[in-house]
Amino acid sequence: MAAGNIVNGMTVTWDTNVFVITDLNSFSWSGIQRTMVNTSTISTVGGMTFVASKKYDPGEVSFDAQYDPTRDPDFSTDAATTAALTFNWPDAGSNSSSCVAVMNGFEIGGNDEEVITCRPSFKLTGDVTW
Tell me the mean pLDDT in the region 13-40: 85
Q: Which amino acid is at 9?
A: G
The model's pTM is 0.79
Q: What is the CA radius of gyration of the chain?
A: 19
Kindly state the average pLDDT of the residues 21-49. 92
Query: What's the sign of the alpha-carbon dihedral 59, 106, 70, 64?
Result: negative
Nearest of 104, 8, 119 to residue 62 by alpha carbon: 119
- Give tens-digit pLDDT for 62-102: 989 888 877 766 666 666 678 899 888 876 566 888 999 98
CB 96, CB 89: distance < 8 Å: yes
Closest by CA to 14, choosing from 57, 72, 69, 66, is 72
Q: Which helix (H) or strand (E) holds 76?
A: helix 75-78
The stretch 50-56 carries a mean pLDDT of 95
Confidence of residue 40 (pLDDT cuts 50, 70, 90): very high
Q: How many residues does the chain have?
A: 130
Mean pLDDT of 8-34: 81
Please state, rounded to an integer, the average pLDDT across all residues of the chain: 84
pLDDT class for 1, splitting at 50, 70, 90?
Answer: very low
